[in-house]
Amino acid sequence: MARPIDVPDDILDEILSRLPVKSLVRFKSVSKSWSRFISSPPFTRNHYLRASLPDPEITDLKILISKPDGFRFIDCEPPRLPVPVSFRFPQNRTPDINNHVRFFGSCHGLVCLSIGNPRHLVLWNPSTGDSKTLPDYYKVLSVPAMGNCFGGLGYDPSCDDYKVILTDNSQFLIFSLRKNSWRNKRVRNGTGLFTNGVYSNGALYWKNYGEERIFGFDLKRERFYEMPQPDLVNDDAYYFHTGSLFGVGERLCVACRKPITNDLRGGIEFWVRKKPGVKESWTKIHRMPKYNRWFCFWNSFLYLLKRKGFILLGAPQEEIRTYDANGFGLQVEKTMFCNDPSRCKDWNARFHPHRHEAIAYTESLISPNLSN
């Protein structure tokens, strides 16, 4: 048998970092040295950063949907109908009627979720199958119970650490992946959080419930701050709702809506923040002049796609669709998931809000198993 060619690491990095995650997972079986190289933290970080460029050569954005009989994912660019997939899932457990999946956040290809018991949180990379079960957070509670929890997953670049946030608006818990431990931290402005946080550039962001304010949680300083919002014409006529924040790559996007009146069908503006903390960096990228009366009332935006002006929406009450936002108003391009049997006869495309959840993530090789 011929000996494998010895390729210098810098050349190997330059070649392999341009390939999609799916190919690299297969290439780990070429040899032990390739497996070590592809799994090494420097390479996985470099590969993710290349894929996160403003105009990446490869795009591995997925929407992950949990269903009682397993998982589905949607390739987002270009959008395709949902595909059943067989994931190597943590703890040898899969979603079923008794094991409801809850997503708490995604960051750099990692997804934070629980299956069955919400106390048993897992960090999972769906692309590689690697997972880590987090320690029980009940040991650090100041009172021996937590209500309905919301959270977030983000990256602290100051110490190369991933942090999980969990709160029921009375207690605020922080998990450090590198330290493998939970802390119960007293924070200001850590109430009114009734959704999962959206990660962007070292912070998690929430729209404060009942107020037109957006708060960021700095993962390095571990404190909240109010985020400067985009300037809008007739500020008082626009508002945000719970599902208004979402991601565009590593950037934060907000959907600002004008209320529907008898003589006006309202409008939606999409703004992207290009530089953290700089109010002037907010840039309007889309405007929808009109929309249906019930459109966006319960909808949550999952992701704004980079190509062809598609906007992917998650509708907890009904369906997941793609829309063309470049024209006047909204044009439905595809119904990806639906809870109406007359329109979605394929079981793979059924979506029920109380049994299914959806989250956007970018495929990566990053491992959830860090150590000091």
Q: What is the pLDDT of residues 215-266, one digit of tens each?
A: 899 999 999 988 887 776 445 556 665 457 777 767 888 877 766 555 455 6
Residue from 274, 284, 360, 286 nearest 323 by CA: 286
Q: What is the pTM of this model?
A: 0.83
**Sheet containing 357-362, strands listed edge to edge, beginning at the edge strand earlier in sequence:** 83-85, 70-75, 61-67, 357-362
Give the span between the Cα atoms of 39 and 105, in whole angstroms: 23
**How confident is the model over 143-199, as pLDDT tens digits?**
776 777 889 999 999 999 999 999 888 889 999 999 999 999 888 766 677 788 899
Check residue 63 and give its pLDDT. Answer: 78
Q: Which residue has the higher pLDDT, 63 or 326?
A: 63
- The identity of residue 25, as a single letter, is V
Give the span between the Cα atoms of 370 and 372, in whole angstroms: 7
Mean pLDDT calculated for residue range 6-29 = 88
φ/ψ of 4, rounded to 5, equals: -65, 150
CA–CA distances in Å: residue 214 to residues 226, 255, 312: 6, 12, 22
Contact indicator for 223, 204 with CB cutoff of 8 Å: no
Contact indicator for 123, 110 with CB cutoff of 8 Å: yes
Give the span between the Cα atoms of 1 and 4, in whole angstroms: 9
Q: Which residue has the higher pLDDT, 67 or 297?
A: 67
- The identity of residue 301, as a single letter, is F
Beta strand 150-156 pairing with 161-167:
antiparallel
Mean pLDDT calculated for residue range 302-310 = 54
Residue pointed to by tokens 């993962």? 219
Give the span between the Cα atoms of 324 and 68, in whole angstroms: 30
**Is 60 exceeded by the pLDDT of residue 19?**
yes
Check residue 305 and give its pLDDT. Answer: 55
Check residue 284 and give its pLDDT. Answer: 82
Give the span between the Cα atoms of 49 and 239, in whole angstroms: 34
Three-state SS at 114:
strand
CATH 2.120.10.30, applies to 60-362 = yes
Check residue 333 and give its pLDDT. Answer: 46
CA–CA distances in Å: residue 21 to residues 98, 231, 324: 32, 39, 28
Q: Which residue has the higher pLDDT, 142 or 205?
A: 205
CA atoms within 13 A on the CB side of 332: 10
Check residue 199 and give its pLDDT. Answer: 93
Mean pLDDT calculated for residue range 351-364 = 70
**How confident is the model over 69-128, as pLDDT tens digits?**
667 777 766 555 555 555 656 555 555 555 678 889 999 999 999 877 777 899 999 888
Mean pLDDT calculated for residue range 132-138 = 91
Q: Which of the residue ranges 13-17, 80-84, 175-179, 344-348 has the most confident prediction, judged by mean pLDDT?
A: 175-179
Check residue 178 and give its pLDDT. Answer: 95
Domain ranges of the chain: 9-50, 60-362
Helix (H), strand (E) at residue 39: helix 32-39
Check residue 36 and give its pLDDT. Answer: 92
Check residue 303 and give its pLDDT. Answer: 60
| Dihedral over alpha carbons 137, 143, 148, 151 (to 10 degrees) | -40
**How confident is the model over 267-303, as pLDDT tens digits?**
677 788 888 777 778 888 777 666 554 444 445 566 6
Give the span between the Cα atoms of 19 and 243, in whole angstroms: 33
**Is 50 exceeded by the pLDDT of residue 338?**
no
**Is 80 exceeded by the pLDDT of residue 8?**
yes
